[in-house]
Each structure stands twice: as C-alpha cells, then as structure tokens.
Amino acid sequence: MVQIDSVLLPQTYHIFYKNKLLKQLSTPIPKKLDELIKSNVNPPKTNKKVYVIRIKSNPTNPSSRLVISCSQQTITTKLALVTEKGDYFITVKYSQEELDKYGFKLAHVKKIIKALETRTVGLDKSFISITNILE
C-alpha cells in the first residue's frame, strides 16, 4: 500500500517555490494561505511564481485513486497570493494500477510542477495521467 501522507498530507494545500516545499505554507484551509504567506514570507522585491499543490485521495475510485491539482500562482511584492494572466493549472490523476507501478514520491510532484512550468503537457485536458508526466 502506498503511503501518500508520508510524502505530502492529502486534503492540504502545499506551496512550492523553486521546486522546494515551503513547509510553513501548508494548510488544509485555502483561505489561510494568505495569512500564512503574510506571517512567514519576507516581501519579495519582484513578484514570485509559486506552485500550489493539493492532493486528494479517492480510496473508492480505482481510476482516480489519487488526484493532484497543481496551479501556478504569484506572490506579489505586497504578499498577496494571486492568479495572474499566464498562470496555469493542471490536474494529474493516478489510477490504482499507476500507484502500484510508480508509487507516490515527492519527485513526481516536482515533475508535475516542471511539466506545468515548461508547458510540456497539454493544458487543454481536464485530467492528465501520471504516466504522461513520468514517461
């Protein structure tokens, strides 16, 4: 059995910057992200692109056992978390078969971020299979 919560807590929003998890900016409550940013981040000199990751576990759905939403957003110089024009998102799903084959690793999340950042996956689909990211 894949231990998802040993990598990242499901049902929680996690912020990554420069491919690193900012642990102090993780919360299950999306509205709390702004508060956490204001209390834990120094104001940047320029707007910074970050990636907000949310993991959702679906134990009863074998075709979408694990779903990862990844959205590119911006932390402004005034410490606001905003979605600007040109910020994109993707939703990646793992089937039970894919979880058995690949497991779930932090490296997968980083590859999802890179795929979004470099636009190497089609952004026009509602769901992308993890196989499309890893192979």
- SS3 category, 36: helix
Which pTM does this prediction carry?
A: 0.89
When pLDDT is cut at 50, 70 and 90, the band that residue 65 belongs to is confident
Tokens of 79: 């410490």
What pLDDT, in 10s, does the model give residues 80-93? 999 998 888 999 99
What pLDDT, in 10s, does the model give residues 24-33? 899 999 889 9
